[in-house]
Chains A and B, each alone.
Chain A
């Protein structure tokens, strides 16, 4: 199955663009996606935005899909699911 990443702001420069598709096995969960991100981009995201040890994003980077934050690593993912990767900042 394919998970479609939509990447915002500075993170997109590390992932080489605002969009990226990640191929995962059927029945994949959030942890599988994080492992795939680690394998493909872990080195370019670290050390500022990626924790290589835990294979998780660092700081206030969020994964959001269908209006929900993806927090639980056992959350199931669906084919064609869009996952937004962003680092919101308060300002003004």
Chain B
């Protein structure tokens, strides 16, 4: 049996209400168990929107998202999403924030002791055990991001959807968190989709890199990173790929600029008429 596609989006087209054109169209993306997919793309291309569609928070105009082959029409308890913004609830302590949702009706049944153990472990994994009674307003940006990650991890999800989760972290902590992500994916056979704007982060953790670009956006490039972890010594092998991705990314960023030029041209013609 080939590795099952845990979460897959096929022919996804998505458009915001009131928008002129689709944000992305005919996009195919999938992630398998034990695999990390990095989604790269210029800012504003629709990465966060794609994540929400894959998580069942927003419905695509066309195409479908499936979880283990079953259509996914609403957020699923087996899928955890870490948003670009930590979204911690200000009236709960860190501990209660991490536990938030564990006792929801649609989540797997767990008794109080089990929930406490999961929260403890998640806090330990992100290194925030000492801050369990702190309120979100007392945490730094990086700590908040780690807390949001802990809230996802506590649920032991089969699919992790992460929207630039390490963006606000310093270099050292970022490396630690990347290592933690690799550890979790390996330990629990999780499928992880990581949105990032950092090529080096993608090269450091991903098994596959998907580059989004164009308007409407689609996957304009895909790279399999067949380099074993840890990758610290594989700089040379990764260097070539890095250049390729950078070139493709530059092309992707340049494209909208052309659009703007055409717009300006049409506008001046309209005035001339």
| A in complex with B | no
